[in-house]
Structure 1
Amino acid sequence: MSMHGVRPKMLGFVSEEVSAWLVALVALIAGGLLTALLALATHELYQQQLRQRFELLASERYSRIEERFEDQVQRLDGLRRFFVFANEITLEEFNGYARPLLHRTQAYSWAPRVFAAQRNDFEQRASKALGLRYEILQLTDSGALRASPERPYYYPVLFTQALAWQRQPFGLDLLSQAQRQDTLARASAPGSMAVSAPLTLTDVDPAYARGVLMAAPVFAAQQLAREPQGYVMAVISMRQLMAEGLPSAAQDNLVVRIRDLTGPDTQHEVLFQSDNQGATTTLAASHLLHLADHDYQLDIRPSLAFMQANRSSAVTAVVFLGGLLSLMLSALLFSLFSQRQRALTLVEQRTGELRVSEQSLRNTHNQLRSVLDAATQVAIIATSLRGMISTFNAGAERMLGYTSAEAVGSLTLEALVSPEELQQRARALSVRYGREVSLAQAMFAETIQEGGSEPGEWTLQRKDGSHLLANMLVTAVLDEHGLWVGHLAICIDVTERKRIHDALAARDRLLDKLSAEVPGGIYQFSLRPDGSSCFSYASEGLRDIYEIEPSLLRLDATAVFDRIHPDDLGRVRTSIRYSAEHLTPWREEYRVLLPLAGLRWVRGEATPEPTDDGGTLWHGYVTDISDLKRVEEELRALSVTDVLTGIHNRRYFQERLKAELERAHRDQQDLAVIMLDIDHFKRVNDQFGHAVGDHVLRSLCQRINHRLRRTDVFCRLGGEEFMVLCPGSNVVQAHSLALELWQGLRSVPVEGVGIVTASFGVAGWRPGEGADALLLRADSGVYAAKQGGRDRVEAELP
């Protein structure tokens, strides 16, 4: 009997045609139920995503506003340190420092403390410095400025730097208004900072007029004082601080409001309110902001723009597509059940196609296996979704010691990782996500990065129990439908590279330790082709040499040149350029002006080498030689000073005479000398003793020193012979000076001895004459004075 002769029945009583309708109806009902569930889940997912997006935007906006508040505090603190470490600040210096700080800030001001007794003098000096009439003023309740009444002391605004040049409040006494006075009182301790209650800013656009005043006290460095020397202030407009750099009202996704928390809840003033319109929703976020000693509440709600940008039609799409799919599925099932023979034929056809595909896949698998086995230096391991190894190439066998037969179908990927390390990472992830994370989840959560492009560093365990360090890149394996069917891990042994890295790190630590023990500082100084410079390496010793953090010098070396004495800076820069151009060793001794140590001498030496970009790199060191310089100066002073009288000796006279003769010859200037010899000095020693003779020499030197000019050089040649070198004086002027010295000696007796006289000889320099000829003529004058009876001044001999 033919198969077509009898119509089969379903369940024994329902014909095949009726059963197709029944299956289609059941499928339609099931599809409708499933569509309803999916629509509900989609709506919940949309609400969750909407909440996450809002929380992300609100957190980012809070962080940005908090950074702006912290930035205001840091800038005002920087201005305070500028006044603390400076002896005296001029208007130009204040403007130069404060002008770059005017970013989201209306103005910066400086108000020094002025006592009542200093008021008139302070107003006169301020008027001269500012170039306008300056007077200490107070702010009335009506907003007008008038002369401040007498107080024990004032804090008037002396310097101010504002965004716009409206009327500046020069001379405004901060103690003249209760709000400002309260702010100063809260900021009276060293290092403190206070913010005023909300106030209306003067001479500011009304839209930006509501703001606060932040003040910081300035105390003298290394001095103990109960009252600050003055206050630095920042005038902050809340609208300017909040709105600048943020999206416009039409494009802003958030509605932001800032309230001042001073006072009762019913009186919390709104300092800033976004101009855009908020959406009707339960989404909201509230944060606490801190500015100096003040607290503010930040309220954030989504705007209409946010709700419109995140509007979703997913629920409608799910209902439409679900219903459509249900109808299509019902029609498909009806077609399948009503045409069974056609379905069987199609199955047979597909079975044949699958066999062909299976054979092609087997061939492709064999080719892939050959490629994987050829990669002997890289371990390639494929796993199922459960982590069971399905592919284990020759590189993995060589690296881990397992054969492919031992690993495939028997081991998981996490079994190849150090258990201690895997457990540690699982615990860390559990703490991070607030739920228990299994070892397998920790394995893939730590290694699968976005796009699968970032390898993770893991400790792998070989078959023999030894360990190796490897970079493991794990990616997801997807089928032709885009479904996740497993994992692919690629491992590279980095044990040797890690060992080299640790060795280099140990070497760097040894270098830092050695450099810390070396007196001074070791450095690498880089001069770039564009003229900029930096210290690519700076040991900790440079902190003591220049009183600068070494980390700051790695970006810019300008701070070091700012420390060099102005008289030495040009010479140092010239020597650096010369060393760079000729690649010669650099060596300089120069002075530095330090904030704490004051004036110090340093010596630097370095060897240059060219760099690939056309710059120059020096390797060198710098040391403090202040003590050595002080000893040199003391030795120099001793070498040119007569021990008995304290005046210059013969050696110094010869050096100065040579230098003055060269200058007189070069500049065609006058020069004269006065030689004197004490009369009968041997008789004083014989009669009164050498101690009295020494007293006579010291007494005469003191009298002569008092009568000489600052440019004259007084020296003792030896015994009772003395010489006065007179730069810029001709012989007539020198003769007049000699007469004055002669009269001063003979007119005042020496205690215990009486009148002591001297014979003087004068000589003026003649063009082309040398030192010996000049001194010989002066000595001849002394000889002539002694021959003429002593106690006289002999004019220049022909």
Structure 2
Amino acid sequence: MSLQAVRPKILGFISEQASAWLVALVVLLGGCTLTTIVAWAASDLDQQQERQRFQLLVNERFSRLQERFEDQEQRLGSLRRFFVNSDEVSREEFEGFAQPLLQRARAYAWAPRVSRDQRKLFEQQVSRQRGTPFNIRELNANGELAPAAERDEYVPVLYSQTLSLLVSPLGFDLLAQPLRRSALERAQKSGKLAVSQPMQLVGLEPAYATGVLLVAPVTAHGATEPHGFVMAVISMRQLVAEGLPRPDRDNLAMQIVDTSDLQQRLLYESGSARVDSDLSAVRRLTLGDHVYALSLRPSEMFEQANHSSLALILAMGGLLSLLLSALLYVLVSQRQRALKLVQQSTMQLRAREQELRGAHGQLRSVLNAATQVAIIATDLRGVINTFNAGAEQMLGFKAEQVLGRSTLESLHVPAELEARATSLSVALGKRIPPSQAMLVESPDSQHEASEWTLVRENGSQLTVNMLGTVLLDDHGLWVGYLAIYLDVTEQKRAYEALAARDRLLKKLSAHVPGGIFQFTLEPQDNWRFIYASDGMRDIYEIETGMLQQDAKKVFERIHPLDVERVRASIRLSALQLSHWREEYRVQLPQRGLRWIRGEATPEELPAGGTLWHGYVSDITDLKRVEEELRTLSITDSLTGIHNRRYFQDRLKTEMLRLNRTAGALSVIMLDIDHFKRINDQHGHGVGDGVLQELCKRIGQRLRRTDVFCRLGGEEFMVLCPNTDGEQAYRLAMELWQSLRSAPMEPVGIVTASFGVASWRVDEGVDGLLLRADSAVYVAKQAGRDRVAAEEVQA
């Protein structure tokens, strides 16, 4: 039989006689084709991802701008309600209310309606109030403010609160300019907010001069016509651009067009450079009675951040294909030269092979006796020359089918041989052909059986353990190979089933939040984890292997105040075979204090003891949210002290304590004098500051056992446990003195009326509070700014 009949093909399909240049060319063409396909797929994926990123940026930008537009409407609406609900608003009150509203608006203004007959009287009254001459003005031909011409009606700017460094255009008649007049007429007609067409705003720096005027009519209760207008002067640069990335860092190029304008004038355009792209988006923004078209396109920054990887893939794929083809050319050419040398040596050994055939016959009878083991011998070329009865029974081939015709390689799975040959080549530092992979031993597993997959005569596969060795002649020359196979298919199937179950359990436990465990408590008080998932390591910061060795390490992590309770609950669950559920704290080396919730179902073991199946999870965030909600429910949001609800709960608790054990209890009620006057003169913002300063001063004078609460508005209560009436009166005097000892900016000295009442036997909550409230009433009737004790029983 010729060597050519059993010679393997290169890569499984290229003949050994093929030219090395042809092999390299085929591989190069195949690599280039594959690179082109991959590059096309990557390009399509890049385009999809680019569109998705652009849509995310568009949605975020639209949401931010719409929120800003709605915020301006809400702020102007609150200013209008302030005027509607006030009989008369002074300049100081307007500035105090409008100052906090100046956010992304350049100015807020109030402009009353003035008729032709009222003009002169109106200008005189405003001049006296301001102390400076005041005239109703309009822009002349030179763009300067000059006295307004005679008209039936004027809407001059009377009050103005602005961020601009320029002088406010007080007295400017809004009806003197068509765009402003149109906005006022639409607001008067609809009774709702109206917005002007894009215009150059008066009294603003040039950088902020382009914008719109948002107008709201102010109509008194019961009236049909508005008596004036409140306005928000909105600069598009301030409203839109502030808070957004710089133009050279922005991913989007943006334009805003007023769709209500017949000329479709541009309201705002960002400085970002646009690029030619099919990506674009248009959204609708609403402000007042106008609808704006927001147009968004990608900028140069977006294009740079999302460049395609097509060129890189083509370059790298082409380079790899070229290198691979060059490598195959070298390997194929060297292999062909090596095979020629092998063929020459084989011809010399053929004669020696004939002599060995006789010896093989003697061994065949011995080998055929081993029917449960396959023994196969080959010559140096890998051609089978010995095939015992055990091999026939195991593989289904007859000896005459394979002897001298098949190689040992043909009985193995090709992919397995390729993988083994690659691994051996790396480990030994030299190339091992797949035809010899099953016979070469790796450095770390010498003289050990290795697992292989054989192909039976019917095409089915068989898993075996193989032990291979070389055959030597009498002179110590290498003449062939000997392979011994043992069928381990059933054994491997059992191992794989166990491994699959372990993998499934590991996957399931990895997707369960927290940790899953099996835990036993044996009669000798031996605590042990039978199983612990990887989540247990995260919960307790203990490796699972260490947990299974010593379960007591878990109890070392439990907080000292909780550990005995947890132990007792486990023993009770074991005694009653009841569901175990506990929440407890653990002290971890890295994450510190954490809250844990554990649940498990017990079952009794046949040999005694209890087995639990359960899980634990980290509930620290849930506990933190519960604590924050509890704190918010009992805390006054403005002053930071306790609220009425907390006071009522504590007072009921103290009353129950007094009914059980007796003792003393007093309350101090205080009401700020003339607090409404403070709000009216200085604004609610100053009033809130007064409340906060009062709480600060009183809190510094209270004892640790006292409970300071805000009942509502300007009324406060101090609960004094274990304190009689005389002690509470002295404390009230100290608190009264702390208030009037120093002024509060900007209102000066703030005083309060105090009332003191102490608990009486068999008295309820309502009676105690009624007497404290009566004492406050007595203090106010006596002239305020004093402390009044409760009336003594006759």
* TM-score (norm: length of structure 2): 0.49
